[in-house]
């Protein structure tokens, strides 16, 4: 826990420094954009190093640690075969490069973490919202911890997250290319193609009703889904493991919080992409709550909440904004603390050194 605490304090300190620096600049220049930050490349570099150092140089941390270590050992001598066969060539290319640089699974973890972190930081800085809040939510909502386990999927998520601005600007062809690149790391990224068309629509009661009905229908079809995915008596427990019900509540908070912002109609229109994504994420969590395996699909949709919540909080007056920020971070910290202590084999943390 000490290692994670140091990272949180370090990232909080650097991101607060960047926010305060921008606030001072805005005050001097007579601007009032106090929720924006002038990003320092050096500050971002320090944050990147903190995330990559802890995620990359770990030993036996994460439920999937041994799985990826085995993948590396089995693949390092012939990664080109998998690349040419188009069998998620992204991770195989990383294994190939890792083997050339320094033959160790640690190299693979470091490179994977580096790519993931750089892409996430890029996606987080596109609109220059409250960077401190974005980084704290990235940690406390579990997005960072996910990269300790679902390495390939988090690489795909990072690609989607970094390229999501293309979808917002209706650059369909370019967004399809982004999804295709994400699929090089994990084929589940294809789910973001239909989601793209849903998040572009104006949300209304009819659309919400259709999504809820769809969630109910899919929920009762789990048995057939598991058979289709190849579940057997030996692995069915992995497929049918129920997630913590608290996650359902936590994943709906961003959408419901937006119902209470000022000038709601204008806010919904301006942030349609993120609000629809938050609703879809909540629906997907309900659909997959009885399968930890299927629930991993929500990694693609849940990460956008770290951009939505700062936008929603920024609509409040300064007094309420500060109070809500403190309360929200405190509640998400409690959620993170429970998660890190009860799932993912994340404790105790051990360095490879």
**Residue 159 pLDDT greater than 90, yes or no:** yes
CA-CA distance, 308 to 310, in Å (whole number)?
Answer: 6
Rounded mean pLDDT, 334-345 = 88
Neighbouring residues of 151: CB distance < 8 A, sequence distance ≥ 6: 64, 68, 91, 109, 112
pLDDT confidence tier of residue 164, bands split at 50, 70 and 90: confident
CA-CA distance, 215 to 223, in Å (whole number)?
Answer: 15
**Residue 143 pLDDT greater than 90, yes or no:** yes
Could you say which DSSP state residue 297 is in?
Answer: G
What pLDDT, on the 0 to 100 scale, is given for residue 45? 93
Neighbouring residues of 329: CB distance < 8 A, sequence distance ≥ 6: 133, 136, 137, 140
What is the value of pTM for the model shown?
0.89
């Amino acid at each position: 826990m000490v290692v994670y605490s140091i990272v949180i304090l370090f990232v909080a300190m650097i991101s607060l420094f960047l926010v305060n620096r921008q606030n001072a600049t805005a005050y001097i220049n007579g601007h009032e954009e106090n929720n924006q930050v002038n990003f320092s490349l050096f500050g971002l570099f320090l944050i990147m190093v903190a995330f990559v150092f802890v995620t990359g140089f770990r030993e036996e941390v994460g439920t999937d640690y041994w799985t990826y270590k085995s993948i590396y050992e089995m693949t390092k001598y012939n990664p080109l075969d998998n690349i040419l066969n188009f069998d998620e060539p992204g991770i195989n290319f990383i294994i190939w490069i890792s083997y050339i640089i320094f033959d160790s699974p640690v190299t693979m973890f470091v490179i994977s973490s580096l790519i993931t972190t750089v892409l996430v930081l890029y996606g987080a800085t596109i609109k220059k919202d409250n960077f401190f809040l974005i980084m704290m939510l990235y940690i406390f909502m579990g997005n960072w911890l996910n990269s300790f386990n679902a390495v390939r999927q988090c690489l795909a998520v990072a690609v989607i997250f970094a390229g999501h601005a293309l979808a917002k600007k209706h650059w369909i062809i370019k967004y399809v290319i982004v999804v295709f690149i994400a699929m090089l790391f994990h084929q589940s990224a294809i789910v973001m193609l239909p989601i793209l068309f849903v998040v572009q629509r104006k949300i209304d009661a009819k659309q919400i009703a259709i999504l809820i009905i769809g969630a109910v229908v899919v929920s009762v079809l789990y048995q057939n889904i598991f058979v289709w995915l190849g579940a057997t008596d030996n692995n069915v427990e992995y497929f049918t493991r129920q997630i913590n019900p608290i996650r359902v509540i936590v994943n709906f908070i961003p959408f419901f919080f937006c119902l209470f912002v000022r000038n709601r109609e204008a806010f919904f229109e301006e942030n349609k992409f993120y609000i629809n994504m938050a609703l879809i994420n909540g629906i997907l969590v309900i659909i997959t709550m009885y399968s930890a395996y299927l629930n991993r699909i929500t990694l693609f949709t849940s990460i956008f909440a770290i951009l939505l919540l700062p936008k929603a909080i920024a609509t409040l007056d300064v007094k309420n904004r500060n109070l809500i920020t403190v309360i929200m971070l405190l509640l998400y910290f409690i959620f993170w603390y429970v998660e890190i202590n009860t799932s993912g084999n994340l404790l105790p943390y051990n360095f490879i050194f």
